[in-house]
Amino acid sequence: MWSWRNPTEVRFGEGLFRGLKKVVEPFDRILVLTGPTFVKKSGLINVIEEQLKGKEWHWYDEVLPEPTWDVVQRAVDFARDYKPRCVVGVGGGSVLDTSKLVASFVDKPFGVRDFIGKRVELERSVFSVCVPTTSGSGSEVTPYCVVMDREREIKAPVTSSANYPDVALDDPALTRGAPFEVTRNAGVDALSHCLEAYLSRRANPVTELFSVDGMRLVFKYLKNALRDEPVARRKMMLASLYGGFAISNAGAGLIHQLGHALTVLKGLSHGYTMGIFMVPVLELYGDAVRERLSRLERALGIKYFLGFLNRFLKELGIPGFNELSLSEEEKRKLVKIVMKREHVLKLLPATVDEYQLLKFLEEYEG
Ligand SMILES: [Fe+2]
């Protein structure tokens, strides 16, 4: 038995951002959340200004990458004073996650920090719109908002159905001209979503369609997207959307848990850490995913998925786990952080315990 649910309306197309006006037409007091640089530097803010002309709105540009709970809480607190009717996030995964949480938490009496790594059911009363400017997180169609807490050494999502935006505006033109690292890391993140959802115990025939086709798109188009080729940019936005759809129902797995822990420990960007752990995790799963991977090889027309993936990531300049040269202490810490996510570990395709994971990382040679 399985079920599928995703309530977000997706509008996809080149130049679609110029239709933002229509999407937010019924609302006044619009809060636009962005990061501090891209929207200004790219001139996108001028388009936003033009689209919201005549409306009462505010631009909040203090959302930082890999946001910690205090960054997110500041945005929520600002919104509590401003009292928006509509929240629009324009940016990468960090901005979208934050804007979704702002929309969900703005009229609630509790703080964000207590819900990191937890599911909470809420009624959202504010309209929520997400506009991705990178192709990777798929956050515009997921119920997850990832938040980091350095003191408690955790990076995990606040999960809620209320976090699904009302509308996702996917305009591939917004990703044009993004720097190499941003495009690569986001693309690798999209790949990790498709792969983790594919291997998840919660995978179903619908998530599998998105997973397989998403992977096919990343393998075919990411390198051309890095050369800023418009068709490839469009296909990568589709891959990111597919990855988001896949994890929205099937969830992520150990690659994400290890990657989040590495970001807590070393501050590395999310997509980059996904690339580092993809191959090691598949090796750790071993026989438990052999059959699934054979099926994937047939679907993608690839002879040996693990070898293919390894080459693909190397060509993109993603280092092997050992190249990080983590100390024994750091590896122990990494595993400790992962083990805090006990309920997620139960959904992995293979049983993984603390001792086994630490031993695997200590002896890993790739
Ligand atoms: Fe991710």
The Cα angle at residue 292 between residues 321 and 319, in degrees rounded to 5: 15
271 alpha carbon – ligand 1 mean position (Å): 6
Specify which residues 87 forms β-bridges with: 31, 128
**Residue 318 DSSP one-character state:** P
Integer CA distances (angstroms), 154 to 108, 136, 256, 314, 335, in order: 23, 22, 12, 28, 12
Exposed / middle / buried, residue 364 (Cβ in 10 Å: 0-12, 13-18, 19+): middle
Q: What is the pLDDT of residue 347?
A: 86
Look up tokens 């719109």; give the residue. Answer: 129
Cα 284 to averaged position of ligand 1 atoms, centre (Å): 19
**Given a cut of 90, is residue 258 above it in pLDDT?**
yes
Task: Note whether 161 and 266 are within 8 A (CB).
Answer: no
Instruction: Give distance in angstroms: CA of 167 to centre of ligand 1.
Output: 20
Q: What is the distance between the alpha carbons of residues 35 and 165, in angstroms, rounded to a whole number?
A: 19
Confidence of residue 343 (pLDDT cuts 50, 70, 90): confident
pLDDT in tens, 97-130: 999 999 999 999 999 999 999 999 999 999 999 9
**Token couple for 189:** 């993140």
Q: Could you tell me the residue ranges of all domains in the chain? A: 9-175, 180-363
83 alpha carbon to ligand 1 midpoint, in Å?
Answer: 30
Domain 9-175 and domain 180-363, same fold? Reply is no
CATH number of the domain at 9-175, out of 3.90.550.10, 3.60.10.10, 3.40.50.300, 3.40.50.1970? 3.40.50.1970
Residue 62 in tokens: 């203090």
Ligand 1 centroid to Cα of residue 187, in Å, is: 10
Q: Which of 98, 102, 105 is nearest to 66 (CA)?
A: 98
Contact 311, 217 (CB under 8 A): no
List, for residues 39-83, the tens digit of each pLDDT value. Answer: 999 999 999 999 999 999 999 999 999 999 999 999 999 999 999
Instruction: Evaluate if residue 366 carries a pLDDT over 90.
Output: no
How many whole angstroms from 322 Cα to the centroid of ligand 1?
21
CA of 53 to the centre of ligand 1 (A): 35
Which residues, 6 or more positions from 215, have their beta carbon under 8 angstroms from its beta carbon?
Answer: 191, 194, 195, 198, 239, 296, 300
Ligand 1 centroid to 54 CA: how many Å?
37
Q: Using alpha carbons only, what angle is made at residue 141 by residues 139 and 143, rounded to the nearest 5 degrees?
A: 75
* Domain with residues 180-363, CATH architecture: Up-down Bundle (1.20)
pTM, two decimals, is 0.97
Query: Across all residues in the chain, what is the average pLDDT?
Result: 97
pLDDT band at 346; cut points 50, 70, 90: confident
Cα 141 from Cα 162, distance rounded (Å): 11
